[in-house]
Amino acid sequence: MSVEQAPVQRADFDQVMVPNYAPAAFIPVRGAGSRVWDQTGRELIDFAGGIAVNVLGHAHPALVGALTEQANKLWHVSNVFTNEPALRLAHKLIDATFAERAFFCNSGAEANEAAFKLARRVAHDRFGAEKYEIIAALNSFHGRTLFTVNVGGQSKYSDGFGPKITGITHVPYNDLAALKAAISDKTCAVVLEPIQGEGGVLPAELAYLQGARELCDQHNALLVFDEVQTGMGRCGELFAYQHYGVTPDILTSAKSLGGGFPIAAMLTTEELAKHLVVGTHGTTYGGNPLACAVAGAVMDVINTPEVLNGVKAKHDRFKTRLSQIGAKYGLFTEIRGLGLLLGCVLSDAWKGKAKDVFNAAEKEGLMILQAGPDVVRFAPSLVVEDADIDQGLDRFERAVAKLTQA
């Protein structure tokens, strides 16, 4: 029996929610595949993917089935107990990666928090209390907790919350000489995104990641890859480190891992994992049976040659058309990224106006993203149909045409 819900509208947000977000003027209420409908019945094509989360689009039958089945069995027991979906998911992730141990939590920030704590604990146990320094990249993004926002290399997110966490250094991304100058025997970890997502969809150079791996080995530091945005097939491999052939000591995953259901994971080796003994870290909801059941279904769909190879083909389809639009209208100068994480860098005349492009696209029935003020970001479903790609980019071109003619 359904219960009648009280009507709500966008204006309610400003009355009842903390004002740390500025959501769009419409409210999505239903999704199917790469299509979304708002309260008025207007249809939009979704190239935003919930910020690289809805990896299989909306209401994918495999995910709906996994969630429904688990919802009729067991919702939550806490980590006082374990559960079958969590163990199955751990096996799937371990079998598909370098990892030998998994830790489940609820968000990318929590996965990174666990990774940074593990790195410091390993260094403390092996080398003593003075080896705790972390090196990260300028313009990086690792989450919104106090620890992760300080490791992230964007002061606009970390300023104004009291004293900064000490022992964190930031160096320019893709600058191996700067990393070499900063690293020392006090460094416990180097933290990098294989592609800087919020920092502008900027891929790492292969030599940079290879050099970071070598420097970490030389200084007994751990290499941590934040794959919250790049993981789960987003770049055409299950994880971006597999594209580069550079293996980290610790890897974090979230966003696409649950296909829209909140879940995150920290993956590492048995040798490192043993430093988080009982009581050193935890989470009430981490490894929740509902979340793990859905993530297991996500893994089953994504980790196949058909889907991963399809991501690479869809990348080419996006990039070809976006390049044509860029050349025709002079709105952006470069298209970068891997797989279905793409960033269009705005031309000098349009610097700082990514929000204007976002708004113009929405008016044409297209949901996209920004990556800072100068980059328009696309992170659609990995199984977005070619017809949706073509129609969505038609809408994008109409938006760009109106914007450049205004």
Give the residue ranges of the annotated binding site: 108-109, 141, 144, 226-229, 283-284
Q: How far is CA 342 from CA 106, 237, 303, in A?
A: 25, 15, 21
Task: Give the span between the Cα atoms of 127 and 131, in whole angstroms.
Answer: 7
Q: Are 264 and 254 in contact (CB under 8 A)?
A: yes
Place of tokens 């070499």: 180
Place of tokens 């604990």: 121
Structure tokens at 301: 């769909």
Residue 212 phi, psi dihedral angles, 5° rounding = -60, -40
Residue 255 phi, psi dihedral angles, 5° rounding = 35, -95
Provide the annotated binding site for N(2)-acetyl-L-ornithine.
144, 283
Structure tokens at 284: 């009430």
Provide the annotated binding site for pyridoxal 5'-phosphate.
108-109, 141, 226-229, 284
Q: Are 215 and 221 in contact (CB under 8 A)?
A: yes
The phi-psi region of residue 78 (left if phi > 0; otherwise alpha if psi is between -120 and 50; otherwise beta) is: left
3-state secondary structure 239-296: CHHHHHCCCCCEEEECHHHHCCCCCEEEEECHHHHCCCCCCCCCCCCCCCHHHHHHHH
Strand 101-105 and strand 264-268: pairing? antiparallel
Alpha helices in 108-262, H assignment, sequence order: 108-127, 146-151, 155-158, 176-182, 206-218, 240-244
